[in-house]
A and B are shown apart, each in its own frame.
Chain A
């Protein structure tokens, strides 16, 4: 069932720029060439009955309900599969058509239950609609063969499949193919025995299904239906909002009954997701109303004291008093704040404003520090803007796609599906990853090259690729000459052409056979449109920034920037990483990436905020911890981030937090970090507030309030009230006013307003006088910084290398079913799919250590040790092990080290030297966390 406020036009829009004028039921209609008669008729308000057609899928022509008459053509063509032609005369209604349609509907009804009142789809069932318009109330056919009587498949935690209600329209099968590209569904059997089957007649849960829900949405009846639709009843209204999970930023419709979300349906007009969503966005929203939610402010003087529930007023007053006391005692710069990539742009903006204007320090940072800060630095310095260069739709024009250190089908599933669609059309794929991610080989897709490098050797590989481009004469000199700095290009060319960067020379470093690197480089350079997509496997290294620059160098040298189909696109981990960075969350930058030392910019903010802003950079997150241990940093306001689980070297982080006098945590749950907090301010989920998120393609989308904040205040109101308590006037009636202020003060946001967002749906910044409707592709014509700048990217081995004591390299990633530290997803039925972090290791490495699949193993690094279960797999190369970090009880960050990127201090999560041994007992950490979780009974610890 598609969204209750979607008007389905039957077939997807045609892309042609030419238009065709025809006559439908006597009225003249003009549509793009290539449009189906069905869609043209729907656009002209002449609805044609249909069952197998929906506008998210290619026309299929199987239900035979949409027949029409076309003058001069014999027979009754199906309007879904027949395209418009100039001067065509179409009749959509006639007694003969009605008779044929009745005949078809009666056949459907001859094997379909008629007790609509008890059906979850009642009122939104397309078969019910078809029966109504054709006047079929029952079937005249005598009872005969039936497909009914099979037990419903209720194995999936989110949706049921009831074969009794299935009309075999194949919409689910086609959605799995065309929308999701997983191909888990098929029709088995022939003729009357045709049935929908998940994999090879397996229950949905056991099949290859990834629970994206596209089939559920595509189903015209209640054969595939959300469990909540049956349990809660039909929704009453739909609110268009933006997903709160990953950086794809899917536009969703929250369908609501009273104040309760009945289901989430992707918005088919959503520019980023184009009508698709994944299991997290569509189904895993239950955390928002989970019993663990804390809805009362709490304070305590010492972290060993029990929490005391207090009023909002008391919490604000206490916090303000403490911050002022600490600033008086230890100096203005002894306090700071952390913005969250999970919160809205407006909330992020307010937190940094509070820090800068109310606390008068630049000690503000954001969790992007630990994920994509190298992207900001690297792209700003080479191209001129700290953001990805493309819109997601750009991938549909790429000929060669390079995926580096990212796993889109798990981490960014909706983009993963878009990418798969393009690859299935024939685009070539190069994967650079220590692990064989699904894209390397999956139904109908196989990577042309998988460069399975050793963790920590990214720069050696990107240099080798560039070396081949330069030394084999594959660089696009016209492009670099007109668009890049002559000097830096010449210096870089000389640098990269040196034999030490050749694939042959770097083979011993990266472990990737030289000929594969050469061939991959040639493929990338040949394009003609080559696009690079990368993730945290690029940034979370001691050379993260160098690698981002290396990527930009390669793209510039081959002319792959500044148009559709090419580019450098970071896949952002969280919903609002881009936005939190845009909003001035970094200690050295004001909103719009302008350095605090820039007096003109500072002046603008000073006059708007009526304060004097410090002109020196503040502390970054890891520096704050160092300063805290040093005694010069004493208070921290943390909005929506769980350092104690997410940041590396947990013991070090814990010690720093313990050393502070006032730690304020604003979150949905009592997360790990709250164990070290003095003040807890209840947060609000994305369903409880208005605002905007900015996704990985710079797209600003509205978040709209679906229900009232459980704790009474939305996060932006909490920050505002805290500022007021600190004596700094902040007074916004609605987040739209905050956006207006952002637009006034930020050149790339000048044209952004809530009114325009309502009108356009979403906007990709920059949006200003030069680009009033936003900018899908950046650097068209020229780079933002003027001329593109090449940087010399010397490979420097990380200090973290395998030794005889720690002979294996540990790297980390995410799974489809969990999200980051799991605070949200662990509080949903996604646990059914993924219950714990496991350690993937190569069977040979396991055998050498006497480890079998499923054994409990200890993983030790120089920073600490953890215990998890082992999973043996050939996905990972010998010498490398891999795990996820979704569960606090695994404490994966106990083993990661303090190593970090040279430019941004982004932690080196992706390389840790470890040893793995078979053990019989959970380790101390794991035992402790498990015990605490059990004793806390629900109000347990985790992240927001």
Chain B
């Protein structure tokens, strides 16, 4: 008997023992006399079920999870390799409502294929986008992206097509495509999942970008905390070069494009595009003054596309299926789908790719299933550590750019972190300042000194020292940081602080605390 099983190689799955599970599975199968082939895929994004093991059966891939090493002998004994019933049996994974209700465009392949398998990538529509771009030519390719309504998924939500158009219109000469893979927001992991689960999509997206704007070199700026992604990227880059998908003659088109991966050094600020460029150039990761925009003078002073992983990985889908098809998803000025990352105190955390417009409540309840602790969800923070805190009263807000903006929040990179009613919002506000202090590059004063003073003042308030005066100082500081900071780090740190103060004033009142 021969059987194929899939065990994710995704870092999130590995972190809960997927590697041991795979090994155990192999040895148990051998003992049982079964010829087992274990294939490695990306994660499906149902993280509460990891390690999620899938067995290829007649009715499709049958999932079991979470399958820890300890569970394996029992599972094998009870017929896992035949897709037999078990308390951990999920059933045909594609039919799982959590997945079936999603609209996976960018993440279509993640979890389904072996990320290193170029043939599988091509068999599932890979490189159709690039082929079409080559047919269209640069100008029309840029137009296609423009028409699709795609906006930067890194957080700034700037229309990608306009950025590309600016680079395209710069005089010919050395230009660059850079991919910002310095995914530093707490509670976010979509870039990592994509790079580990479908790296060719990113590569194809960058190649299309290079062709569209006239750039011959690409850089992926990868955070050093993503060693698995690094290995995957290194492997597929060399495969792609051998296959003629990178190099001097991409797909036989005569166009030249190659990609290099550079590792960061642990600085959150290097996720800010100009700091990232400084770091790529080998300098101290410090924010550059804009203008000039990177699209005019970016890496090494040359016109440069700076896009996030998800943005670039979405491009092949847009080109392959046409701008209109992508544009059909979403609403108003938020078109297409957004890979949301649900984390924090939540029962079912993971990756939810849906068209823009899902409400916060739908995400928390329908997908998340409420808090992990079972207590009421009191607040969510959207868009990373610099995102605003939303109280329950705002949970009906649709997750799209303008909707969130209307209530003073930001979608950012799509991270959503849930907190139950035991959260201390004053401590959350203090932490926001502390985060800024830890991650500040030190260039501008409001961020460099302000964040430290802000954290100190909030700590003083927590201790009940000079409360009223300190609150005024914090309010003023937030205004200074918001209006006077050089970049988004200092400029957005007030969002969590101010939203916490506004929506949870009771946590900032004088109180006697337990003990």
Chain A residues with a Cβ under 8 A of chain B: 59-65, 67, 75-76, 78, 81, 83, 99-100, 103-104, 107-108, 110-111, 140-142, 144-145, 168, 170, 186-187, 189-194
15 more contacts with CB within 8 A, not counting A64-B445, A111-B449, are A61-B289, A63-B444, A64-B444, A64-B485, A104-B480, A107-B445, A140-B469, A142-B456, A142-B460, A142-B465, A187-B442, A189-B442, A190-B269, A190-B442, A191-B437
Docked-complex contact B456 and A62, CB < 8 angstroms: no
User: Which residues from chain A contact B484 at a C-beta distance below 8 Å?
Assistant: 64, 67, 76, 100, 103-104
Residue among B291, B437, B452, B473 making CB contact with A140, cutoff 8 Å: B473
- Residues A59 and B442 in contact in the complex (CB < 8 Å), given A110-B453, A144-B456: no
Q: How far is the CB of A640 from chain B (nearest CB, A)?
A: 48
Q: Chain A: which residue is nearest B484 at the CB level?
A: A64
User: Which residues from chain A contact B438 at a C-beta distance below 8 Å?
Assistant: 191
- Residues A103 and B479 in contact in the complex (CB < 8 Å), given A191-B441, A192-B442: yes
Docked-complex contact B483 and A108, CB < 8 angstroms: no
User: Which residues from chain B contact A141 at a C-beta distance below 8 Å?
Assistant: 453, 456-457, 473
Chain B interface extent, by class: 35 or more
User: Which residues from chain A contact B470 at a C-beta distance below 8 Å?
Assistant: 142
Q: Chain A: which residue is nearest B268 at the CB level?
A: A190
- Check if B477 is an interface residue, CB within 8 A of chain A: yes
B428-477 at interface with A (beta carbon < 8 Å): 437-453, 456-457, 460, 465-466, 469-470, 473, 476-477
Residue among A63, A76, A144, A170 making CB contact with B483, cutoff 8 Å: A76
Q: Which residue of B289, B442, B466 has the most chain A CB atoms within 10 A of its CB atom?
A: B442
A717 to B479, CA, bound (A): 67
Docked-complex contact A64 and B446, CB < 8 angstroms: yes
Q: How far is the CB of A183 from chain B (nearest CB, A)?
A: 11
- Check if B486 is an interface residue, CB within 8 A of chain A: yes
Q: Chain B: which residue is nearest A169 at the CB level?
A: B445
User: Which residues from chain A contact B448 at a C-beta distance below 8 Å?
Assistant: 168, 191-192, 194
User: Which residues from chain A contact B456 at a C-beta distance below 8 Å?
Assistant: 141-142, 144-145
Q: Chain B: which residue is nearest A59 at the CB level?
A: B289
Docked-complex contact A100 and B483, CB < 8 angstroms: yes
**Chain B 280-294: CB-based contact to A (< 8 A → 1; otherwise 0):** 000010000101000
Q: How far is the CB of A784 from chain B (nearest CB, A)?
A: 40
- Check if B267 is an interface residue, CB within 8 A of chain A: yes
Docked-complex contact B457 and A142, CB < 8 angstroms: yes
Docked-complex contact B442 and A103, CB < 8 angstroms: no
User: Which residues from chain A contact B446 at a C-beta distance below 8 Å?
Assistant: 64, 103-104, 107
User: Which residues from chain B contact A64 at a C-beta distance below 8 Å?
Assistant: 444-446, 484-486
For the complex of A and B, 8 pairs with smallest distance between CB atoms: A194-B442, A103-B480, A191-B440, A144-B456, A61-B289, A107-B449, A64-B484, A81-B289
A193 to B439, CA, bound (A): 11
Residue among A60, A104, A107, A192 making CB contact with B440, cutoff 8 Å: A192
Q: Chain A: which residue is nearest B449 at the CB level?
A: A107
A99 to B447, CA, bound (A): 17
Q: Chain A: which residue is nearest B443 at the CB level?
A: A62
B243-297 at interface with A (beta carbon < 8 Å): 267, 269, 284, 289, 291
Contact sample, A vs B, 7 pairs, CB 8 Å cutoff: A107-B453, A142-B460, A144-B456, A168-B442, A187-B284, A190-B439, A192-B451
Chain B residues with a Cβ under 8 A of chain A: 267, 269, 284, 289, 291, 437-453, 456-457, 460, 465-466, 469-470, 473, 476-477, 479-480, 483-486
Docked-complex contact B457 and A103, CB < 8 angstroms: no
A508 to B367, CA, bound (A): 82
- Residues A100 and B480 in contact in the complex (CB < 8 Å), given A59-B289, A186-B284: yes
A81 to B456, CA, bound (A): 31
A546 to B441, CA, bound (A): 57
Docked-complex contact A192 and B437, CB < 8 angstroms: yes
User: Which residues from chain A contact B452 at a C-beta distance below 8 Å?
Assistant: 144-145, 191-192
- Residues A107 and B450 in contact in the complex (CB < 8 Å), given A64-B445, A100-B483, A191-B437: yes
A62 to B450, CA, bound (A): 13
Docked-complex contact A61 and B477, CB < 8 angstroms: no
Docked-complex contact A103 and B486, CB < 8 angstroms: no
A67 to B466, CA, bound (A): 31
A836 to B457, CA, bound (A): 58
A187 to B284, CA, bound (A): 9
Q: How far is the CB of B115 from chain A (nearest CB, A)?
A: 34
User: Which residues from chain A contact B269 at a C-beta distance below 8 Å?
Assistant: 190
User: Which residues from chain B contact A194 at a C-beta distance below 8 Å?
Assistant: 442, 448
User: Which residues from chain A contact B479 at a C-beta distance below 8 Å?
Assistant: 99-100, 103
Residue among A83, A100, A108, A142 making CB contact with B449, cutoff 8 Å: A108
Q: How far is the CB of B467 from chain A (nearest CB, A)?
A: 12
Docked-complex contact A190 and B441, CB < 8 angstroms: yes
Q: Chain A: which residue is nearest B442 at the CB level?
A: A194
User: Which residues from chain A contact B469 at a C-beta distance below 8 Å?
Assistant: 140
User: Which residues from chain B contact A189 at a C-beta distance below 8 Å?
Assistant: 442
Q: Chain B: which residue is nearest A193 at the CB level?
A: B442
A63 to B484, CA, bound (A): 9
User: Which residues from chain B contact A168 at a C-beta distance below 8 Å?
Assistant: 442, 448
User: Which residues from chain B contact A111 at a C-beta distance below 8 Å?
Assistant: 449
User: Which residues from chain B contact A104 at a C-beta distance below 8 Å?
Assistant: 445-446, 480, 484
A60 to B477, CA, bound (A): 22
User: Which residues from chain B contact A62 at a C-beta distance below 8 Å?
Assistant: 443-445, 486
Q: Which residue of B456, B476, B480 has the most chain A CB atoms within 10 A of its CB atom?
A: B480
A168 to B269, CA, bound (A): 18
A107 to B437, CA, bound (A): 14
Q: Which residue of B440, B465, B473, B484 has the most chain A CB atoms within 10 A of its CB atom?
A: B484
Docked-complex contact B453 and A144, CB < 8 angstroms: yes
A111 to B451, CA, bound (A): 13
Q: How far is the CB of A129 from chain B (nearest CB, A)?
A: 16
Q: How far is the CB of B201 from chain A (nearest CB, A)?
A: 34
Docked-complex contact A192 and B449, CB < 8 angstroms: yes
A110 to B446, CA, bound (A): 12
Q: Chain B: which residue is nearest A140 at the CB level?
A: B473
Q: How far is the CB of A933 from chain B (nearest CB, A)?
A: 49
User: Which residues from chain A contact B289 at a C-beta distance below 8 Å?
Assistant: 59-61, 78, 81
Q: How far is the CB of B48 from chain A (nearest CB, A)?
A: 36
User: Which residues from chain B contact A190 at a C-beta distance below 8 Å?
Assistant: 267, 269, 439-442
A103 to B490, CA, bound (A): 14
User: Which residues from chain A contact B476 at a C-beta distance below 8 Å?
Assistant: 99, 103
A224 to B452, CA, bound (A): 25
- Residues A103 and B460 in contact in the complex (CB < 8 Å), given A63-B444, A76-B483: no
A391 to B104, CA, bound (A): 66
A75 to B484, CA, bound (A): 9
Docked-complex contact B483 and A67, CB < 8 angstroms: yes
User: Which residues from chain B contact A142 at a C-beta distance below 8 Å?
Assistant: 456-457, 460, 465-466, 470
Q: How far is the CB of A545 from chain B (nearest CB, A)?
A: 44
A83 to B290, CA, bound (A): 11
Q: How far is the CB of A572 from chain B (nearest CB, A)?
A: 36
Q: How far is the CB of A104 from chain B (nearest CB, A)?
A: 5
Docked-complex contact B483 and A75, CB < 8 angstroms: yes
A170 to B470, CA, bound (A): 30
Q: Which residue of A144, A168, A189, A192 has the most chain B CB atoms within 10 A of its CB atom?
A: A192
User: Which residues from chain A contact B460 at a C-beta distance below 8 Å?
Assistant: 142
A60 to B445, CA, bound (A): 12
